[in-house]
Copies of this chain bind each other. A is one copy, B any other.
Amino acid sequence: MEIIEYKPTTEELAYTFGGNAPRRTIKPGTAVRLWTQDAFNNTIQTVNDLSSEKVDMRFVNPQTGPFFIEGAEPGDALAIHIVDMKPARTYGISSTIPFFGGLTSTDRTAMLQEPLPDTTWVYEVNTERQTVGFEARYGDMKIEFPIECMFGTIGVAPAGNEVRSALVPERFGGNMDSPEVRKGSTIYLGVNVEGAMFSIGDGHYRQGEGEACGTAVEGAMDAIIIIDLIKGAAPAWPRIEDDNYYMTVGSSRPMEDSWRIGQVELVRWFQELYGLHQLDSYQLLSQITKAPIANVVDSNFSVVIKAAKDLVPHASAFKGMHESLRERAKGLSL
């Protein structure tokens, strides 16, 4: 397997899905060892760095990519397997950006109240214990939490010649902020433009479901991924597969629509996997799906729908792509 190394320069970082020239051209089946900048674009390093003073919202969630995938055409599915990932810094950052987050009014859920205090938290990475350290800013509490690395953004160029901010989760993937986009997962994205124009970023050292305050434990990331292609197999919305679950992600507003999108997509996937009638698929999944919220803070809200593989007969999704990628991932490491 070909392995490419890619660490973008500051100038190479991208801030949109679509609208950027490819940084690299890659053959399907290639492994990429890459680095991603943190969501704040490295503007915040200490608790004295306030987001309202340092962060330019036009340059957040910097993307590593886009990669032009040879042979990818509209209607194909891109399969991205996350082989491994780990913090590329000794600390992670979180902050309550004014009028951004889930428990504050925003530019969309517009109100007249004053913003919450702009506050920054720095989480020290303990490599040995594999933890990040929470330190209260208005009190004395200190707790260490396990590192659970994930990517907040993973996506391709949108359809219809659109270009979308890296803050947006959508049909093309993007800023879904789901903890399921982690080591061991395979993400399937429908290709909309020639070459797919894949990019990735917004690494989180850990994140709660919902990403309540608007930011996770944000940090630069080292990762190795394998990018592959399945001709003519584009899902309508992002799908994820790992060893234990079939998953879909819906992103819209209000949040019940995100759920509806994901649930319909999984109903359809199960119809494909098992030759089920729509109503039987609906019924069966009603009794077994998990439905964790991913984010309630981005331009669209994201909900994951997942069905455990051990509850249903074995099936081969996307021609066994996930199993194949797991196999190929062996021996690769950071």
Contact = CB atoms under 8 A, between A and B. Distances in A.
Nearest to A265: B110
A243 interface: no
B105 A277 contact: no
Chain A, interface SS category: loop
Contacts of A292: 209, 290-293
Contact of A111 (B112, B139, B260): B260
Interface string A247-268: 0001011111101110110010
A311 interface: yes
Nearest to A278: B112
A277 B138 contact: yes
A256 B301 contact: yes
Nearest to A212: B286
Interface in A157-177: 159-165
Nearest to A111: B103
A20 to B, nearest CB: 9
Nearest to A14: B161
A94 interface: yes
A277 B86 CA distance: 31
Contacts of A104: 111-113
A275 B161 CA distance: 43
Q: Which of A18, A116, A288 has its CB near the most chain B CB atoms (within 10 A)?
A: A288
A280 to B, nearest CB: 4
A213 B161 contact: no
A216 B138 contact: no
A103 B260 contact: yes
A284 B134 contact: yes
- Per assembly, the copies of the chain total 4
B208 A287 contact: yes
Contacts of A83: none
A113 B110 contact: no
Given A254-B254, A287-B217, A139 B296 contact: no
A331 interface: no
Interface in A37-68: 57-58
B112 A290 contact: no
Among A255, A264, A289: residue with most chain B CB under 10 A: A255
Given A111-B260, A217-B287, 9 more contacts: A107-B261, A143-B284, A143-B313, A162-B163, A210-B291, A212-B263, A216-B286, A252-B253, A255-B256
Interface of A: 15-16, 18-19, 57-58, 94, 96, 102-105, 107-117, 119, 121, 134, 136-139, 141, 143, 145-146, 159-165, 206-217, 236, 250, 252-257, 259-261, 263-264, 267, 274-280, 282-293, 296, 301, 303, 305, 311-313
23 contacts: A16-B162, A19-B161, A96-B283, A102-B256, A103-B264, A104-B111, A119-B283, A134-B283, A136-B280, A137-B283, A138-B276, A143-B284, A145-B287, A145-B311, A162-B165, A208-B288, A209-B290, A209-B291, A210-B259, A212-B286, A216-B286, A254-B256, A291-B293
